[in-house]
Structure 1
Amino acid sequence: MQPAPDRLSDRRFAAIAHFVEGSVGIKLPPSKRIMVEGRLRRRVRALGLSGLDDYAAHLFDRGALGAEAEHLVDCVTTNKTDFFREPAHFDFLRGTAVPRLVGQRTDRTLKVWSSASSIGAEAYTIAMVLQDMVAAGARFHFSVLGTDVSRPVLEQARAAVYAEAMVEPVPAAMRQRYLMPSRAAGDARVRIVPELRRLVQFHSLNLMDPSYPFDRDVDVIFCRNVLIYFDAPTQAAVVERLAGHLRPGGYLILGHSESMAGNGLPGLTSILPTIYRREA
């Protein structure tokens, strides 16, 4: 007779889903249950517990939820990211946003924020695009901020080391300029060059926080492929908070599956299906 599979009870899954949604806004409907259980089993093994039910008891009955919260959220958070994902957005950054923003003022320092940066692919893509413009003669300086709720992925972002397969979407000329192959035999990884790493900073941020401790004169904010995990009221609240950090004329760029999230919010004008501009 086969042993019963290691599963969470309905009550325990509901408790975990309630905690995650309250902490970081991510909804975990019953359809995500198998995915959640699969990811939590790795954490069960790391803690040396007997199974998922023991893990739930560890959280809710034995008082470990506070200490374990970050690991729990990290387990169930999807950190899918790619270099040059949705490339039309980077074409817009290069061809429209930067020329307009630089042309509007004498201060030629641009601030760009990747607000759900995961392991850093989006933030470093932004930096590559901007640095290429500077190398081609555009007259501006820039800095890139990357934020995420998961500290482990931020550590990966700061390390800036990626598998060669992951950087395949990076154009060949940019790979030559901005990526250093490992010198170790058999190590199929690359690292972002230090000149580019110096232009990108990473900090921890929970988008569910009521305020964000960052500058309010940001030129472009990317918030892509994270709002889909929030309900509509949370989406609107996050977009409104982010928009409050844009300078007048600045741009908010959402993912294609989130293109409606900014509609109807005061001060934002839709200029393309996924791109909004903050009015004065």
Structure 2
Amino acid sequence: MRPTDTAAFAALAGDPVLAIERAEFDRARRLISELAGIQLSPHKRQMVHNRLSRRLRAHGMASFGAYLDLVERDPREREAFVNALTTNLTAFFREPHHFELLAALAAEHGRAQRRPLRVWCSACSTGEEAWSIAMTLREAGCAAEVLASDIDTDALETAAGGVYPAERAAALSAARRRQHLLRGVGANEGWVTVRPELRPMVRFAQLNLQSAEWPPMEPFDVVFCRNVVIYFDREAQRRLLERFTRVLRAGGLLIVGHAESFPATHPAFRACGRTAYRFEPAS
């Protein structure tokens, strides 16, 4: 006999008790869209089941419907819900051509400007991207201020801590590891942490890119917004792009992910490298 849809999803998850019904999955998709602007594919039902099951167990709940009721009435659980469904795939110096572009800009800025270069890492996840930015700027000898933000408070805690399993930094050159990281010893063996010289360069803050208001910001020379808008619909992408025009300096750079080209839809952005765009507003 063919298993029911519900039973099949419970079996796939290795959980004979809990299962997410189609209506509950659709409700979860609607909530994450409203809270974070993330558009989950209809094919992500198993992922939603797996990630939210942990929250059900934490509360001793027996149904996804009851859990989603809690999300709707409890602001603290809304934060945990968003954290659970946020994807945090990242790495040090991921898409290295962007950091080569940043290094060239930093060298030019250091020669021509007295003020610090301002960079916003707008979806910093667990921090590897933000610390890679800081490493690049330190290597260039460029005075800089880096704002690193994310919607996921759990990821931000990791990012601000700057402590990682050593294998996460294994792809860095030995020279770069010596320059920017400290190896753990004793009970901390197998871990690395960013050096104290990097820490003052980066400030971490929680921020939802889709929130109605952003806190006041001084203009940025560079904005990294990589591998985020693939989860937004076109209207949300358009709104976000328009908001970036208000926080970027004229001539500043917007750097996006390898599968993203949304700045090309705006007349004020000009391609200047692989998935990198220069902001050139009309005078």
TM-score, normalised by the number of residues in structure 2: 0.88
Q: How far did 1:98 drift?
A: 2.2
Q: Secondary structure at the match of 1:41?
A: helix
Query: 1:16 aligned to 20, 25, 28, which one?
Result: 28
Q: Secondary structure at the match of 2:198?
A: helix
Q: Distance in 2 between matches of 1:59 and 1:218?
A: 35
Q: Which residue of 1 aligns with 2:170?
A: 168
Contact 2:222 2:253 in 1 (8 A): yes
Question: Which is further off, 199-208 or 216-225?
Answer: 216-225
Query: 1:113 aligned to 108, 120, 123, which one?
Result: 120
1:15-94 to 2 correspondences below 5 Å: 15-59=27-71, 63-64=73-74, 66-94=75-103
- Cα gap change, 1:102 to 1:28, in 2 (>3 Å): same
Q: Secondary structure at the match of 2:164?
A: strand
Q: Distance in 2 between matches of 1:32 and 1:43?
A: 17
Q: Which residue of 2 aligns with 1:99?
A: 107
The CA deviation string for residues 188-208 of structure 1, in whole angstroms up to 9 with x for no partner, is: 111111110111110011000
Query: 1:239 aligned to 235, 238, 241, which one?
Result: 241
Q: How far did 1:57 drift?
A: 4.5
Q: Which residue of 2 aligns with 1:229?
A: 231
Contact 1:160 1:192 in 2 (8 A): yes
Coordinate RMSD, CA, aligned: 2.1
Contact 1:148 1:206 in 2 (8 A): yes
The CA deviation string for residues 227-261 of structure 1, in whole angstroms up to 9 with x for no partner, is: 11111111121122123211111100001101x20
TM-score, normalised by the number of residues in structure 1: 0.89
- Cα gap change, 1:116 to 1:59, in 2 (>3 Å): closer
Contact 1:164 1:188 in 2 (8 A): yes
Q: How far did 1:214 drift?
A: 4.3
Q: Distance in 2 between matches of 1:279 and 1:102?
A: 21
Paired letter, 1:121: E
Paired letter, 1:275: A
Contact 2:121 2:223 in 1 (8 A): yes
1:75-224 to 2 correspondences below 5 Å: 75-95=84-104, 97-103=105-111, 105-134=112-141, 140-185=142-187, 187-224=189-226
Q: Which residue of 1 aligns with 2:269?
A: 268
Q: Distance in 2 between matches of 1:238 and 1:265?
A: 11
Contact 1:262 1:268 in 2 (8 A): yes
Paired letter, 1:119: T
Q: Secondary structure at the match of 2:277?
A: strand
Q: Distance in 2 between matches of 1:22 and 1:200?
A: 30
Q: Distance in 1 between matches of 2:65 and 2:265?
A: 44
Q: Distance in 2 between matches of 1:147 and 1:157?
A: 10
- Cα gap change, 1:216 to 1:243, in 2 (>3 Å): farther
Q: Distance in 1 between matches of 2:223 and 2:70?
A: 39
Paired letter, 1:272: G
Paired letter, 1:23: L
Q: Distance in 2 between matches of 1:56 and 1:71?
A: 12
Q: Distance in 2 between matches of 1:274 and 1:214?
A: 27
Q: Which residue of 2 aligns with 1:277?
A: 278
Contact 1:41 1:51 in 2 (8 A): no
Q: Identity of paired residues, percent?
A: 37
Q: Which residue of 2 aligns with 1:248?
A: 250
Number of aligned residue pairs: give it.
269
Q: How far did 1:34 drift?
A: 0.4
Gaps of 5+ in 2: 11-17
